[in-house]
């Protein structure tokens, strides 16, 4: 199966992955957006998350995905959710989906080498854009078919539809699901509208139901945005629940301290990297670009300290490079 680094850096990705990896949140979301006739046939007790991602590396910063196995009328099937966080629609998203679906089937065949049929895949795309999409949700519409030859050519063209969920078209109050699922989608929608401090996101009837870990995750997402700090404090004063207000303020201070520590650590690492480069330049007059990049990619302070000594004591660049 295609894999990705365990650490997820994109804030949207962190929020949706953490929220909808939970089967209860995922089920509520899928039930709200798949056709009712279909959801009635799904055995939701079999809903199981599949680890990994099928997204192309070049889209990893603007997309995330989740794959679930499920039984539909006692037959195995897949539910695939693609979360799109970019600022504009991708008119070729149908082709990307087809690529990911083929990867899912290939992975299935690797795990089931005796299979002679493929499970159905139900693809759903969640668009976080701040304007409506115009692209068709049918793959065949991407194909430029010669006029008049449609009926003769269509049978040779793969075809499927995907379910498109556009946050832009959904009023905040129409977003359905579990409390965390609702607040996650509201936060994603509000972020595009610069409305993360609005009532829709700070709905106490929902916030009060969140477990502490979920509340912290939501606050981390909100505070990771470029918020007006006085406006944030004013927002907290409007909360009727002292516990919510106190927890939010405590988390804000915790995140601020974490940010300071991370900034200090990053500064320390950068300083050590520069010391190594300076020592190499003094001793050998030049440092090849590839070696510079390799040193710049090291974030282990102890290793950098060791490399600084090696930069001072190595007989030549080749000897130093062998320490990397």
Asked if residue 75 is part of any domain, the answer here is: yes
Q: Clarify whether residues 128 and 196 are in a common domain.
A: yes
Q: How far apart are CA 10 and CA 8, in angstroms?
A: 6
Alpha helices (runs of H) in the chain, residue ranges in sequence order: 11-20, 23-33, 36-39, 93-111, 150-153, 179-193, 204-207, 212-224, 229-237, 242-284, 289-296, 301-313, 317-321
Residue 59 inside a domain? The answer is yes
Residue 121 scores a pLDDT above 80: yes
Number of domains present in the structure of the chain: 2
Q: Are 177 and 304 in the same domain?
A: no
pLDDT of residue 2: 46
Percentage of the chain exceeding pLDDT 70? 93
Query: Do residues 85 and 124 both lie within one domain?
Result: yes
Domain assignment of residue 241, yes or no = no
pLDDT attached to residue 3: 41
**Is the CB of residue 25 less than 8 Å from the CB of residue 193?**
no
Does residue 302 lie in a domain region? yes
The pLDDT value recorded for residue 8 is 39
Domain boundary among 202, 234, 266: 234
Lowest mean pLDDT among 38-52, 102-116, 224-238, 297-311: 224-238
Same domain? 152 vs 225: yes
Q: What is the mean pLDDT of the segment spanning 270-297?
A: 84
Same domain, 172 and 290: no
Look at residues 177, 201, 234 and tell me which one is the last residue of a structural domain.
234
Does the structure show a pLDDT above 70 at 144? yes
Shared domain for 166 and 307, answered yes or no, is no
User: Does 264 map to a domain?
Assistant: yes
Between these two residues, 3 and 153, which has the higher pLDDT value?
Answer: 153
Q: Which residue segment(s) compose the domain that 260 sits in? A: 253-321
Boundary residue ending a domain (234, 262, 286): 234
Q: Examine residue 244 and state whether it is found in any structural domain, yes or no.
A: no
Q: Give me the residue label for tokens 């200090």.
A: 264
Name the residue with higher pLDDT: 207 or 129: 207
Summarised one tens digit per residue, pLDDT across range 56-94 is 878 877 888 999 999 999 999 999 999 998 778 889 999
Same domain, residue pair 55 and 19: yes
Question: Of 54-63, 163-172, 190-199, 254-263, which gets the smallest average pLDDT?
Answer: 254-263
Work out the burial of residue 296: count CB atoms within 10 Å of its CB; fewer than 13 is exposed, 13-18 middle, 19 or more buried: middle
pLDDT in tens, 173-191: 999 999 999 999 999 999 9
Select from 140, 138, 142, 129 the least CA-distant residue to 92.
142
* 248 in any annotated domain: no
User: At residue 154, does pLDDT exceed 70?
Assistant: yes
**pLDDT score recorded for residue 209:** 95
Q: Average pLDDT over the chain, rounded to whole?
A: 87
Q: Please check whether residues 32 and 104 belong to one and the same domain.
A: yes
Q: Do residues 301 and 267 touch, judged by C-beta distance below 8 A?
A: no
Instruction: Quote the pTM value.
Output: 0.73
């Amino acid at each position: 199966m295609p894999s990705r680094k365990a650490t997820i850096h994109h804030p949207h990705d962190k929020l949706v992955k953490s929220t909808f990896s939970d089967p209860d949140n995922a089920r509520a979301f899928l039930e709200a957006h798949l056709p009712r006739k279909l959801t009635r046939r799904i055995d939701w007790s079999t809903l199981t998350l599949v680890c990994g991602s099928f997204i192309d590396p070049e889209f990893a910063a603007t997309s995330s995905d989740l794959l679930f196995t499920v039984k539909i009328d006692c037959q195995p099937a897949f539910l695939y959710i693609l979360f799109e966080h970019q600022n504009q629609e991708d008119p070729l998203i149908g082709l990307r989906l087809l690529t990911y679906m083929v990867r899912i089937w290939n992975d299935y065949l690797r795990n089931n080498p005796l299979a002679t049929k493929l499970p159905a895949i139900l693809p759903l795309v969640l668009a976080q854009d701040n304007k409506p999409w115009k692209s068709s949700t049918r793959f065949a519409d991407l194909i430029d078919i010669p006029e008049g030859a449609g009926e003769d050519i269509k049978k040779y063209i793969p075809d499927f539809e995907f379910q498109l969920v556009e946050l832009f078209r959904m009023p905040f109050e129409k977003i359905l699901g579990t409390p965390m699922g609702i607040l996650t989608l509201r936060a994603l929608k509000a972020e595009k509208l610069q409305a993360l401090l609005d009532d829709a996101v700070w709905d106490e009837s929902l916030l009060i139901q969140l477990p502490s870990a979920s509340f912290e995750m939501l606050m981390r997402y909100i505070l990771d945005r470029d918020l007006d700090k006085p406006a944030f404090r004013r927002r907290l004063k409007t909360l009727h629940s002292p516990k919510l207000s106190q927890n939010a303020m405590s988390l804000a201070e915790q995140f601020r301290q974490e940010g300071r520590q991370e900034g200090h650590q990053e500064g320390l690492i950068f300083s050590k990297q520069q010391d190594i480069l300076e020592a190499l330049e003094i001793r050998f007059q030049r440092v090849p670009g590839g070696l510079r990049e390799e040193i710049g990619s090291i974030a282990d302070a102890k290793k950098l300290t060791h490399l600084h000594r090696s930069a001072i004591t190595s007989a030549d660049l080749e000897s130093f490079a062998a320490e990397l």
